[in-house]
Structure formats: structure tokens, C-alpha cells
Amino acid sequence: DGGITQSPKYLFRKEGQNVTLSCEQNLNHDAMYWYRQDPGQGLRLIYYSQIVNDFQKGDIAEGYSVSREKKESFPLTVTSAQKNPTAFYLCASSNGLAGTYEQYFGPGTRLTVT
Amino acid sequence: KQEVTQIPAALSVPEGENLVLNCSFTDSAIYNLQWFRQDPGKGLTSLLLIQSSQREQTSGRLNASLDKSSGRSTLYIAASQPGDSATYLCASNDYKLSFGAGTTVTVRA
């Protein structure tokens, strides 16, 4: 089955700790994205990557970091600098960055920081 | 900066009624507009994608229209069922997706 996997589904961390969220896709898509969703708000773009070893900041990149060493993988690290890290995090991918390409989403990781 | 608005925030209808969900966006220079469904605690499922050159797109009981000049898109769901209960999100694409906050739909049996 082709798709996007995110792990773990639920993640709990203490304040001040860095945490890495996993995202893997086997759709052979070039572009990958990380979004954050808070209750009552639309999704907001954190980082995106069009090709391997290249990525760009989205609208709310502060306190987050990413890497894109392989086409199929785009892990997100939530650092201790992120002031409000508790949220639902969604990974997505598409065939290309702009134009007519449809985005496909993973099942999400719910991060709770106490 | 693109702003996407969805009104109403919540909607409750009896089974069998047709649903009309509204989405408006401020910048008409978009490549396409996508409608998604999200069940509680789950990821997004793509429902329909309308290219900027299209006026509407249909899939089964779902029909989405796009009017770029007025910055509006509408999702119609015919003969609603309890299984249609979910949050529906629209997103405009001008090289990146800008999302509305969604409309949460409850279909009462």
C-alpha cells in the first residue's frame, strides 16, 4: 500500500526536551511538508522540502528543525525553543511543490508537552 | 498573505438533507483549491481538487465549485448521511496550501 506513515501516534515529553517526529512516504513524491494544527484553527505550515537536502521555512518555523537526507523521509524536531509545542502535527507529500499537485496527508502525531 | 475563511464553523442537519459548505479566499492568484475531510484525531483525506481553470469538480455525492474572481468555493454534499459527520477543510494552493479553520458537520440520524 502506498502512503504516508507518521510515528508515533501519541508522544509525551517534559518541557525543555527536544523531540523528533517521524514521517515516511512510499509514494515517490518529491515534495514533503510539515503542518501544525491547533483546536479551532486551520493547519499552519512549519517547513517544506522540494528535493533531497533542501528545505524551506514555512509560516511558523521558529523552534522547529528538519532534515531531508532521503527522498522518502522528512523528520521534524521540536526543540525546547518552541514556546507552545503541544499540538497535532501532520506530514504531507505531493509530486511537486507548486501548480496542479494534490497533497496527501499522514495520520498525524499528537504531541503533548508538560 | 492568503487568508482562507470557512463559514459556518459548525453545522447540524438531519439525515437526507443536502449540505452546503462555504470557503472564501482573499487572493485569487491560485493554482488550485482542495477540499479535505478530517475525522476526529485523524489525518486529512483529500475529497476534491479543483484546478484554477475549472469551474467545478464532482465525485459521487460531492460537488465542488470554484469562482476565482469572487474568491469563493462551495462544497455540496447531496443526501447527507450520518457517516458524513466530520470536519471539512478547504485549502487554496498558490505554491503552498493555506487552510481555513474548517466546518464541523453533524448529520443526525
pLDDT tens digits, one per residue of B3-47: 999 999 999 999 999 999 999 999 989 989 999 999 998 999 999
Interface of B with A (CB under 8 A): 4, 9, 31-32, 34, 36, 41-46, 49, 51, 89, 91, 93, 95-102
Torsion angles phi and psi, residue A101, rounded to 5? -80, 135
**What is the average pLDDT score of chain B?**
95
Does B94 score more than 90 pLDDT? Answer: no
Mutate to test the interface with B, among A36, A43, A112 (most CBs of B within 10 A): A43
CB B49 to CB A40 under 8 A?
Answer: no
pLDDT given for residue A89 in this prediction: 97
| Chain A residue with the nearest C-alpha to that of B45 | A105
What digits encode the pLDDT tens for the residues A36-95? 999 888 899 999 999 999 999 999 999 999 999 999 999 999 999 999 999 999 999 998
Q: What number is the average pLDDT over the span A6-13?
A: 94
Q: What number is the average pLDDT over the span B90-104?
A: 91
Cell numbers at A32, concatenated: 514533503
pLDDT given for residue B75 in this prediction: 97
Where are the extended beta strands (E) located within B26-109?
Answer: 32-38, 44-51, 56-59, 62-67, 72-77, 86-93, 97-99, 103-108
Q: What is the maximum alpha-carbon separation in chain A?
A: 41
Q: Within its chain, how far is the Cα of A45 from the centroid? A: 9
